[in-house]
Structure 1
Amino acid sequence: MTASQSGETTRAGESRPLWAGIAGILAGALMIAGHVLTWRTPDTQDDDAIREIVTFYSKDSNQALSVTSALLLLAAGLAFLCFLPVLVRAAGRRSTFALAGGIVFVVLLMISAIAGNAYGITASNVDVFRVVPETALIAILLLEVAYGGLIAAMVGAAVLLLAIWRTTRGTEDIKVLPSWLTWAALVVGVLCLAGPFSAWLTSMLLALWLVAAGLVVMLKRA
């Protein structure tokens, strides 16, 4: 191998953690932005939910918000897939569990993003679709499906995070992520299992963990 080829190989090796780290940061940041926009949708548990949904989705700005939220969460899922190999490597011999959990998480996250914003996207792009009390029931159903998908997605995230933590507590000498970050993975992973009560919160904690993990990987030298 010539000196120039060796230099190119070295630079390529150094760029891999950089781009992987950027993908992790983007995944977390886009998840935060997408979920913050989703929080603005009306509460389907209210007695006056139908009227609130009709009022909310009748505004063009809120229809655009649905489109934006869906795009942000879908982009977050794609960025997460680019960062997933790093997390799988951090799980060592439990990489199968980490890979399965990560795939389940990203697939269900995307399904949740589409379902939760489908009503607003349809109202924004289909002229014959009317935002009226009769169709508002569809929005309630879709929002409930979206939250159910998010709950299931957090179970997948829990499997991924707990696989990473368990590996670093074993005999393997895993140095992909620092110890403090793997302990944080344990905390977030356990909280993710309480999804039926707090999926809206644990998804944000996971996003913050991804940002921290991305920063660590990005700053790490090959």
Structure 2
Amino acid sequence: MRVAPLTGVVAVALTVAAFLLLGDTPGTGAPGREVRSYYDGHRAQTGVSLYLLVIAAVLFVFFAAHLARAVRDVPPGGEWLHRVVLAGGVLLAVGFLVGAALTLALLDLSDKSSASPQALQALNALNEDFFIPFVAGMGLMLLAAGLATVRADGSPLPRWLSWAALVLGVLVFIPWVGFFAFALAGLWVIVASVLLARRLRTSQSL
């Protein structure tokens, strides 16, 4: 499918839209009353953002699968590193899905009087700090793709993009830098998606 690589572009676009819709959610130390008030007052936009995030998670798996297939044919590391690429994409998607489920629980509990402020505060703190799985998944996917292609002949990615994947894949795991590296990783996915789509179109036209 010629559109397979472009799932990365759509996934990044949906992720950005989802996080923008979520807005400035209450921090980890916010009291339960504030958490209840926020989610009760942002019910519609939060629901839409969760829907977009779920779709983005699915599309990231499709992109990771296509990237893994491209990496698999690159010797000598591609024979096993393509599995790491796919595993990173799956971990990223699982992180998004679990995070969406936690936010949905906050949304459901915010209009129930039986939910105590302490419970809302604890759930919100867990939700706010639940970023490690999807950040690690992105880092793992880029790191494996970079390692497999940076020194290989006939790489599906330009050498500069492979080096960028390596650098971002490392930076994602560094505290205080990881957030910015994750954002730049989204740009990497967009560029890689477009280049892989062009490569696929060229190979199918021959």
TM bucket (normalised to shorter chain) is 0.7 to 0.9
Shift of 1:167: 1.3
Which digits, 9 at most, give the CA deviation of each residue in 1:109-146, with x for residues without a partner? 211122133211x158xx7x23x8x5343333333333
So what's the TM-score if we normalise by structure 2?
0.80
More helix by share: 1
* Structure 2 residues without counterparts, runs of 5 or longer: 72-77
Q: 1:216 aligns with which of 186, 195, 205?
A: 195
CA contact under 8 A between 2:150 and 2:163: conserved in structure 1?
no
Aligned residues: 194
Task: Label 1:193 to 1:115 Cα distance change in 2 as closer, same or farther (>3 A).
Answer: same
Q: 1:140-155, aligned counterparts within 5 Å?
A: 140-155=121-136
Q: For CA contacts below 8 A with separation 6 or more, give which structure has more relative contact order.
A: 1
* Structure 1 residues without counterparts, runs of 5 or longer: 1-15
Which digits, 9 at most, give the CA deviation of each residue in 1:64-104, with x for residues without a partner? 12211111111001111111122213432211222222222
Which amino acid letter does the alignment assign opposite residue 117 of structure 1? L
For residues 132 and 173 of structure 2, the distance between their equivalents in structure 1, rounded to whole angstroms, comes to 9
Q: Which residue of 2 aligns with 1:7?
A: none
CA contact under 8 A between 1:28 and 1:206: conserved in structure 2?
no
Aligned residues: CA RMSD: 2.5
Which amino acid letter does the alignment assign opposite residue 190 of structure 1? V
For residues 202 and 147 of structure 1, the distance between their equivalents in structure 2, rounded to whole angstroms, comes to 19
For residues 177 and 49 of structure 2, the distance between their equivalents in structure 1, rounded to whole angstroms, comes to 20
CA contact under 8 A between 1:119 and 1:138: conserved in structure 2?
no
CA contact under 8 A between 1:158 and 1:193: conserved in structure 2?
yes
Q: 1:40-189, aligned counterparts within 5 Å?
A: 40-46=24-30, 49-59=31-41, 62-91=42-71, 92-93=78-79, 94-120=81-107, 122-123=108-109, 129-130=112-113, 135-170=116-151, 172-189=152-169
So what's the TM-score if we normalise by structure 1?
0.75
Task: Label 1:96 to 1:56 Cα distance change in 2 as closer, same or farther (>3 A).
Answer: same
Which amino acid letter does the alignment assign opposite residue 126 of structure 2? V
Which one has the largest radius of gyration? 1
Task: Label 1:109 to 1:31 Cα distance change in 2 as closer, same or farther (>3 A).
Answer: same
Question: Percent identity over the alignment?
Answer: 30
For residues 147 and 35 of structure 2, the distance between their equivalents in structure 1, rounded to whole angstroms, comes to 44
